[in-house]
A and B are shown apart, each in its own frame.
Chain A
Amino acid sequence: MAKAIQEREIGLDLFAFLHGEVYSFVTRTGTDPEQQSTKLRAMGIRAGQVLQERLNLEAPRTQDEVDIVRFVCRDVWTHLYLKQIDKLRTDNKGAYYLIDNEFCLIKQVSDSMQYLRDLPLFLEFTCGLIQGIFVQFGISAIVTPEVTHPPMCIFKVQIHNVK
């Protein structure tokens, strides 16, 4: 059991590493930051779609968007980052705030403010991932990262229209 967990942690580390590489690759190749972010986000969305399908094999039918958000907070997060979202807030106007106190992908980033400028771009993939999951659920949502004190990290999910 402990072994399994350990393996998964290794897997997570690899994932984080790969993610970082992808980020640096994209930022190196593309010059225009706009296009860079869209590229990353696109990757994320695709991944999200796959993940949604994968994780929903056994899951029950989702009734409403809250289910989906919960799904993201619990299943997706645990599946990817071996932990759940720490806090979930919502204004009841279709916006959800997923708060991860120590988001593992930016764990290494010291909370000194030097990277704050780059972080949103760095988190594009993850945002895309969340977005992709929503897309696959048939809900169009816009996900934006808010990082003030890394590695604490907030994903804002703005849901547009519930189909």
Chain B
Amino acid sequence: MNPVCIAIISNENSPLLMQTSTAYKSSELDLMFLAHSSLDVIEEKLTVRSTGVDQRELYLGQLYPTEQYKIYGYVTNSKIKILVMTENTSQNIDQEVKTLFKQLHRSYAQLMYNPFYQPGDKIHFPSFVKYIEDILK
């Protein structure tokens, strides 16, 4: 799995952090559009009691298919949405993505401990950004 883009989105659907891997910097805007539109699906998944997927699961799985990317979603109990976009590969990478999400969520929770971070603000702590970039490398 090689993630292309990671986005953390607040409970009011405004982006807190959005990082794109260097290879895809050119198409950052499109990615952003995709991230934004995938919020729709997330909301659907949260509201509509769709059968099959486990409602108690924070991980929402693949949100919707696009031609280039796969978009995976994860929503914490505090309605913080985390998006991971990967290149469109045929093999199943659910597990890896899941673990990545857990990791991201954990580090976000760590971020909350930062006294200088006010929940709902944009995230621009170099350390955190760096951390995300490393994941994208």
Tell me, yes or no, whether A and B come into direct contact in the complex with CB atoms closer than 8 A: yes
Chain A residues near B (Cβ < 8 Å): 49-50, 52-54, 56-57, 59-63, 136-138
Residues of A within 8 A of B113 (CB): 50, 54
Give bound CA distance, A59 to B102, whole Å.
11
- Name which residue of chain B comes closest to A54, CB basis: B109
**Interface contact tally, CB-CB below 8 A:** 47
Query: Known contacts A50-B113, A52-B77, A138-B11; is A57 also within 8 Å of B106 by CB?
Result: yes
Chain B 49-65 against A: per-residue CB contact (8 Å), 1 yes, 0 no? 00000011110000000
Give bound CA distance, A136 to B76, whole Å.
10
Residues of B within 8 A of A137 (CB): 77-79
Query: Known contacts A57-B105, A61-B77, A138-B78; is A49 also within 8 Å of B58 by CB?
Result: no
CB distance from A131 to the nearest CB of B (A): 14
Query: Known contacts A60-B56, A60-B57; is A54 also within 8 Å of B112 by CB?
Result: yes
Chain B 19-55 against A: per-residue CB contact (8 Å), 1 yes, 0 no? 0000000000000000000000000000000000001
> Does B109 lie within 8 Å of A53, measured CB to CB?
yes
Which 9 pairs show the lowest CB-CB distances between chains A and B? A60-B56, A56-B77, A53-B109, A136-B78, A50-B112, A53-B112, A54-B109, A61-B56, A138-B79
Q: Is the interface of A mostly helix, strand, loop or mixed?
A: loop
> Does A53 lie within 8 Å of B57, measured CB to CB?
no
Residues of A within 8 A of B77 (CB): 52, 56, 59, 61-62, 136-137
CB distance from A54 to the nearest CB of B (A): 5
Pick the residue among B55, B102, B105, B106 that contacts A61 (CB under 8 A): B55
Could you show 13 A-B contacts with beta carbons less than 8 Å apart?
A50-B109, A52-B78, A53-B78, A53-B108, A53-B109, A56-B78, A56-B109, A57-B105, A57-B109, A61-B55, A61-B57, A136-B119, A137-B77
CB distance from A52 to the nearest CB of B (A): 6
- Name which residue of chain A comes closest to B113, CB basis: A50
Give bound CA distance, A63 to B46, whole Å.
10
Known: A53-B112, A56-B77, A61-B58. 9 other contacts (CB 8 A): A53-B108, A54-B109, A60-B57, A61-B56, A61-B75, A62-B77, A136-B78, A136-B119, A138-B79
Residues of A within 8 A of B56 (CB): 60-61, 63
Chain B 79-108 against A: per-residue CB contact (8 Å), 1 yes, 0 no? 110000000000000000000001001101
Give bound CA distance, A30 to B86, whole Å.
53
Q: Most A CB atoms within 10 A — which of B75, B76, B77, B106?
A: B77
